[in-house]
Chain A
Amino acid sequence: MSFVSRGFRGRRREDADPSRVPPGQYVTSDFPVLSAGPTPHTPLEDWTFSIVGEVDEPRRWTWEEFRALPSEQVTVDIHCVTKWSKLDTTWEGVSVDTLLDGVETSAEHVVELSDGGYTTNLPLEDVTGGRAWVAFAFDGEPLQPEHGGPARMLVPHLYFWKSAKWVRGLRLTATDEPGFWEVNGYNNYGDPWREQRYWGD
């Protein structure tokens, strides 16, 4: 593009490695919040996590059972479709591989299910192979409700709306079922490196 905004110089961050910042993103040290409605507050004693849909048998964990599963600490970069990226965020969570261990399915897609009715869809292969977690801690602290606590998905290789807050389960599906933002103008896949923000990107 030869388009130039007269007088615009920009304010590049010198402490951020440009190769880690996808196109159109800027690096922030804050942790902005974005959600479509009120923050749900499910008591831990009522919280469960379920694997349902096209599976041999549904699975379900209480909070205690979930927290007894082996967990992993991960340090990843996250990218929000609203343009901010945050580098080297540290999380603790249960790998989706652990949750799907022993689950028999022919599904090729998955829908993340959250309190408040939020959903988001992904190919199943995007949440397996060490690429997705159900995270319960951020920066060494329990995950705060406005950031999706008690537990949220963490799928850092896609835009962050694919990492559903207040996640309560995964529904494995044979066909692709567009989720909440995906039916409201946002891209069905959401790869930040291909800048897939909206429909048609």
Chain B
Amino acid sequence: MAGTAVLGRLTWRVAELVDVVVETPRVKTLVFDVQGWPGHRAGQHVDVRLTAEDGYQAQRSYSIASAPNGTLLELTVELVDDGEVSPYLTDELQAGDRIELRGPVGGYFVWEPAQGGPLLLVAGGSGVAPLMAMIRARDAAESHAETRLLLSSRGWDDVIYRDELERRAGDGLTVVHTLTRSQPPGWTGYTRRVDAEMLAEVVPGPTERPLIYVCGPTPFVETVAEALVGLRHDPQAIKTERFGPTGG
């Protein structure tokens, strides 16, 4: 609780890019080594700050995609064509370059293995990033909490973390894809946007009292959250994180 927390200011830390993982044609995961990183909980985010030579600065928030892992921190960044920060992060930044960031931020959209399950994760596109942190934290803690991820992507090649999700599936983790724009030959999965009918088929019923995390673009989150309420899930159990069209 805030009243009892004794925390200093979240200071800006220097983060050095040590690796880049190409997730999809438009999405990269940037692996930073952050001096003095205090650790984080799955679902939290950081603020990134870039400084131009003339002192001009730009800040944006990015969800943390990695489970707590020493000083290494992974951010998954989708290129926004007319953005100010994401084109720099995805196209300009090279291993050895440094940026500034501070965090971790946010104490609500978080899941810790001790909370158990069942866990329902619903993501649109790069909204999967903070949910991946939860899946990774679950595995790192050797939790067997029943977890279902419903991930909406445009096509098979747009599925972020595709191979890793396949690898991690099983042992209580179920991954369900819907591909809304194009599907590979022989695709038998969902081919439409997430709707109430799909959620009813995929998610645990309200009587199982799942902990629900929904992340994606605003219209996606609105649709999913409304449908879940319509399916009689407790609104208080539905935690949402949205990114707008100006994610930058």
On whether the two chains bind one another, the answer is yes
Residues of chain A at the chain B interface (Cβ within 8 Å)? 1, 3-12, 24-26, 28, 30-40, 82-84, 116-117, 146, 178, 180-185, 188, 197-201
Most chain B beta-carbon contacts within 10 A, residue among A28, A35, A40: A35
State which of B3, B52, B222, B228 has its C-beta within 8 Å of the C-beta of A8.
B52
Give every chain B residue within 8 A of A181 (Cβ-Cβ). Answer: 108
B229 within 8 A of A: yes
Contact A198 B105 (CB under 8 A): yes
**Beta-carbon nearest neighbor of B88 in chain A:** A8
Contact A39 B222 (CB under 8 A): yes
CA separation between A93 and B49, bound complex, in Å?
Answer: 36
CB-CB nearest in chain B for A5? B50
Q: A185-B107, A201-B10 are in contact. Are A3 and B51 (CB under 8 A)?
A: yes
B179 to chain A, nearest CB (A): 26
For the A-B complex, the count of residue pairs with Cβ-Cβ distances under 8 Å equals 130
| A5 and B88 contacting across the interface, CB-CB below 8 Å | yes
What would be 25 A-B contacts, judged by CB atoms less than 8 Å apart?
A4-B52, A5-B97, A8-B92, A9-B52, A25-B59, A28-B244, A28-B246, A32-B218, A32-B242, A32-B246, A33-B242, A37-B235, A83-B47, A83-B61, A83-B248, A84-B244, A117-B236, A146-B222, A180-B108, A181-B108, A188-B2, A197-B47, A198-B9, A198-B105, A200-B9
Q: Which residues of B contact A (CB under 8 A)?
A: 1-3, 5, 7-10, 14, 47, 49-53, 56-61, 84, 88, 92, 97-100, 105-109, 218, 222, 225-226, 228-229, 235-236, 238-240, 242-246, 248
Are B14 and A10 interface neighbours, CB within 8 A?
Answer: no
Q: Would you call the interface of chain B mostly helix, strand, loop, or mixed?
A: mixed
Report the Cα distance A183→B7, complex, angstroms.
12
Contact of B50 with A39 in the complex, beta carbons under 8 Å: no
Q: Given A35-B240, A37-B239, A198-B10, does the pair A12, B248 have CB atoms closer than 8 Å?
A: no
Q: When the two chains form their complex, are residues A116 and B235 in contact, meaning their CB atoms are under 8 A apart?
A: yes
Q: Is the CB of B228 within 8 A of A38?
A: yes
Q: B51 touching A4 by the CB < 8 A rule?
A: yes
Residues in B with CB closer than 8 Å to A117 are: 236
Chain B's nearest CB lies how many Å from the CB of A190?
13
Judge whether A24 and B57 touch: CB under 8 Å.
yes
